Amino acid sequence: MPMDQSFVGRSYAPTPPYEVGREKIREFAEAVGDANPLYTDPEAAREAGHPDVIAPPTFAFVINQLGWEQIVGDPALGLDYSRVVHGDQRFVWSRPVRAGDRLTVAMHIDSIKTLAGNDVLGARGEIHTEDGEHVVTAYSTLVARPEEGE
């Protein structure tokens, strides 16, 4: 069944703040095999002009994912997460995420389409510090494959 077009334009309340820690950044950088010292060495980060270590670019998705959980957990929307694949992803930064940031994501549903039998949902996560400074916007496309027999 196609998704309800009336959800286009819907916004979700910002998530509670996520505090970005140095060790979490280190763990993420190691997991993606990225040895850039700006992720682990506060001194190197300061020399490059940052107040503390910065996170690898796609770390922003860790926070954005908390917004995705709101969308797929919204019973009114009825998006079956077991059928969802990630179609595309885009980030637009005002500045890098860094240790000490307390970040919230506010999700917005920008589009809902049906393409080749799939429900295709365009979502935008606006990621700000809790003081309201814009850090990064994450644009995602979630593709829900049709159920068997549909």
Partner 1 sequence: MAATVHFDDVEVGTELPTVTVRVRRETLVRYAGAGGDFNPIHWNERFARAVGLPNVIAHGMFTMASAIRVVTDWVGDPGALAEYSVRFTRPVPVPDDDEGATVELSGKVAAKLDDKKVRVDLVALHNGQKVLGKAQAVVRLS
List residues near partner 1 by CB under 8 A: 24, 27-28, 30-34, 36, 38-39, 48-50, 54, 56-58, 61-62, 65, 82, 85-93, 95-96, 139
Q: How far is the CB of 85 from partner 1 (least distance, A)?
A: 7
What are the structure tokens assigned to 63, written together?
């926070």
CB nearer partner 1, residue 61 or residue 109:
61
Q: How far is the CB of 96 from partner 1 (least distance, A)?
A: 4
Distance CA 13, CA 71 (A): 11
Least distance from partner 1 to the Cβ atom of residue 6, Å: 27
- The full DSSP string for 16-53 is PPEE--HHHHHHHHHHTT---GGGT-HHHHHHTT-SSP
